[in-house]
Chains A and B, each alone.
Chain A
């Protein structure tokens, strides 16, 4: 399948879908770019016009912006660290032959099927609630004051909730990586005198590098846009303590009804995502090659 004509035919046949995908991507991006330079407020629709970089400057000068940027990166980084480390440990654990392995694995994967707002509500009301929550009950049980999670540690709470949701994904990918490791390699390492820790460090971890890379890349894409969990729980507060970039854009678009500023925020988010992607691909992208 690599003669001149077959290659040409192949290009011809994928051309429509490539073209469609291009339009699919370009049109919204171009519209966002267009609006980001316009004065466009839904509350005063008759006042329109070009405003240059004013929408962008508003964002960059807003005291919340840098906090939101930091929160976004903290959310992505925090969830990545927690899910990869814990995911690896759980994967190692459930890779062991035990009775009821199938049921166990389904249980581990279950949180992934819970919708984000539902998951957030469960955590907010059943675990973190200062009166009714399980954690509050535990705290009272040992005679301590219940921790006000969403009030005092809003960002950490959100990171915790999102980690719980994404842990199954990381576990699942890492588990398949562990299962693809030949047992003879581990046995050879055992014969070579490697302790369990050395086997993990020198055999299992290098083998799982590619899977870890995949987990990090995919999760980063989704975590940059986390919104539902924040909306359901903290609403970006208290104050702006748990406002992330997507949430800030949402506030401009829906609460302030300022489409121009929201569009500018959207473009900033796209740039941020590209910067993150660039550094990710530079640092770990090489692991994707065989």
Chain B
């Protein structure tokens, strides 16, 4: 079981209030992703849940029991670190068995669990190697193996894929998602990569400067961002924000249009193409529109426009409206 509840959790380092106060509920079996720009406090929040940092005030409950002052080992959580934090002088087998050994489990049960984890993670052939002899992806799997053998109440992942190359990252992302499907254990996952957040999460928590900006399912955040920050953070390329006269037409201070919700051909906006990137499947173009500014457009692969071309654009999809405080208007 792994229900985690944070109530008015605050964390300060001296005069710096990293987390000014957070309330959050994480249900059992949920895959929750903390996402936000670097320095937003997402790793600190994870470390507070893990018990590696003390809360300044507030309470953390795990399975209904107050765990605020429990040491990390007593919380029943397992963590996968960004650097993997494998023990370099131990073999893969000993690395994975380490938490079991610390728990005083007998050797036969240890072996059984290590074998099972190795099978799930495709590590069976590497059990007698040392971490230094493994590739990045394999090290990552060892770190996950070390976490799953304990059968924890919840897994905590601290940017686990950021040290992997792009292709491997996609593969590991899917493996972690599949692991979640089969284990059905609560997972909390910290990342700055919104693609990871969108693809893996049941629930995304968008953090900014230590505050929760919005909590919701991936598509909910994409379709109904609560404010300018979430609107700009979720989605790639970034949403176009337009202020001034154009926004006033829609009775808003600011309007936002996603690059994929703009059609090229005919329309009210006319401008000159600046940068154009053709990926085959998509085309990303920047258009300097008269009186509005630079607009990012995501077109199909067949869109053949180049630097200096004069084209017309039209919003073709949802237009997000925001008031002067940056909050979304219904």
Assembled-state Cα–Cα distance A172/B82 (Å): 30
Contact B87 A194 (CB under 8 A): no
Closest to B74 in A: A193
Within A172-201, which residues are at the interface with B (CB < 8 Å)? Answer: 182, 184-185, 187-195, 198
User: Is A206 a contact of B79 with CB atoms below 8 Å?
Assistant: no
* Bound form: Cα–Cα A188–B156 in Å: 11
Q: Give the distance in Å from the alpha carbon of A195 to the alpha carbon of B86 in the complex.
A: 17
Interface pair B85/A207, CB less than 8 Å apart: no
Q: Is the interface of B mostly helix, strand, loop or mixed?
A: loop
B108 within 8 A of A: no
Q: Which residues of A contact B102 (CB under 8 A)?
A: 189, 192-195, 198
Chain B interface residue bracket vs A: 20 to 34
Pick the most buried of A184, A188, A195, A203: most chain B CB atoms within 10 A of its CB: A188
Q: Say whether B89 contacts A207, CB under 8 Å.
A: yes
A53 within 8 A of B: no
Given the known inter-chain contacts A192-B73, A202-B87, A206-B89, please indicate yes or no for A187 contacting B52, CB distance below 8 A.
Answer: yes
Task: Tell me, in angstroms, the Cα distance from A182 to B81 when the chains sit together.
Answer: 12
Given contacts A185-B87, A187-B85, A202-B87, contact A193 B79 (CB under 8 A): no
Chain A interface size, under 10 / 10 to 19 / 20 to 34 / 35 or more = 10 to 19
- Whether A202 touches B98, Cβ cut-off 8 Å, given contacts A192-B73, A193-B103, is yes
Identity of the chain A residue whose Cβ is nearest the Cβ of B152 in the assembled complex: A191
Q: Quick one: which of B47-86 are within 8 Å of A by CB?
A: 50, 52, 71-73, 77-79, 81-83, 85-86
B141 within 8 A of A: no
Asked if B85 and A182 sit within 8 Å, CB to CB, the answer is yes
Nearest B residue (CB) for A190 = B72
Residues of A within 8 A of B87 (CB): 185, 188-189, 202-203, 206
Contacting residues of chain A (83-113) with chain B, CB-CB under 8 angstroms: none
Question: At the interface, yes or no: B146 with Cβ under 8 Å from chain A?
Answer: yes
Q: How far is the CB of A128 from chain B (nearest CB, A)?
A: 42
- Chain A residues positioned under 8 Å from B98 (CB to CB): 189, 192, 194, 202
Q: Which residues of A contact B146 (CB under 8 A)?
A: 188, 192
Tell me, yes or no, whether B99 is within 8 Å of chain A by CB.
Answer: yes
Assuming the contacts A187-B52, A188-B79, asked whether A193 and B85 have C-beta atoms less than 8 A apart, the reply is no
Cβ of B77 and Cβ of A191 under 8 Å apart?
yes
- B residues near A195, Cβ cutoff 8 Å: 102
Chain B residues near A189: list those with CB within 8 A.
87, 98, 102
Chain A residues with CB under 8 Å of B90's CB are 202, 206
Q: How far is the CB of A209 from chain B (nearest CB, A)?
A: 8
Interface majority SS (helix, strand, loop, mixed), chain A: helix
* Docked-complex contact A184 and B83, CB < 8 angstroms: yes
Report yes or no: B99 in contact with A193, Cβ–Cβ below 8 A: yes
Q: How many Å lie between the Cα of A192 and that of B71 in the bound state? A: 11
How far is it, in angstroms, between the C-alpha of A109 and the C-alpha of B231 when the chains are bound?
A: 57
Interface string of A202-232 (1 = CB under 8 A from B): 1100110100000000000000000000000
* A191-B78 in contact (CB<8A): yes
Are B103 and A190 interface neighbours, CB within 8 A?
no
A177, chain B: closest CB distance, angstroms: 13
Q: How far is the CA of A203 from the CA of B98 in the complex (A)?
A: 11
Q: Which residue of B lies closest to A185 (CB)?
A: B85
Determine the distance from Cα of A202 to Cα of B78 in the docked complex, in whole angstroms: 19
Residues of chain B lying within 8 A (CB to CB) of residue A198: 102
CB-defined contacts of A206 to chain B, threshold 8 Å? 87, 89-90
Question: Is A191 touching B89 in the complex (CB atoms < 8 A)?
Answer: no
Q: Are A193 and B73 in contact (CB under 8 A)?
A: yes
Most chain B CB within a 10 A radius of its CB, from A184, A187, A192, A194: A192
Tell me the bound Cα distance from A140 to B50 in angstroms. Answer: 55
Q: Is the CB of B85 within 8 A of A184?
A: yes
Give min CB distance, A276 to chain B, whole Å: 27
Q: Which residues of A contact B81 (CB under 8 A)?
A: 184, 187-188
Question: What's the minimum C-beta distance from A39 to chain B, rounded to whole angstroms?
Answer: 56
**Chain B residues with CB under 8 A of A184:** 81-83, 85
Given A191-B72, A192-B99, A182-B79 contact (CB < 8 Å): no
Bound CA–CA A77/B73 (angstroms)? 39
Closest-CB distance, A185 to chain B (whole angstroms): 5
- Residues of A28-48 whose CB lies within 8 A of B: none
| CA A194 to CA B77, docked complex, whole Å | 14
Tell me, in angstroms, the Cα distance from A202 to B98 when the chains sit together.
9
Residues of B within 8 A of A (CB): 50, 52, 71-73, 77-79, 81-83, 85-90, 98-99, 102-103, 146, 150
Instruction: A185-B86, A206-B87 are known; give 11 further A-B pairs, CB within 8 A.
Output: A182-B85, A184-B83, A185-B87, A187-B81, A188-B86, A190-B72, A190-B73, A191-B73, A191-B77, A192-B78, A193-B73
Q: Can you list 6 A-B pairs with a CB-CB distance of less than 8 A?
A: A182-B85, A190-B71, A191-B77, A195-B102, A202-B90, A206-B87
5 closest Cβ pairs, A-B complex? A192-B99, A188-B85, A193-B73, A184-B85, A206-B89
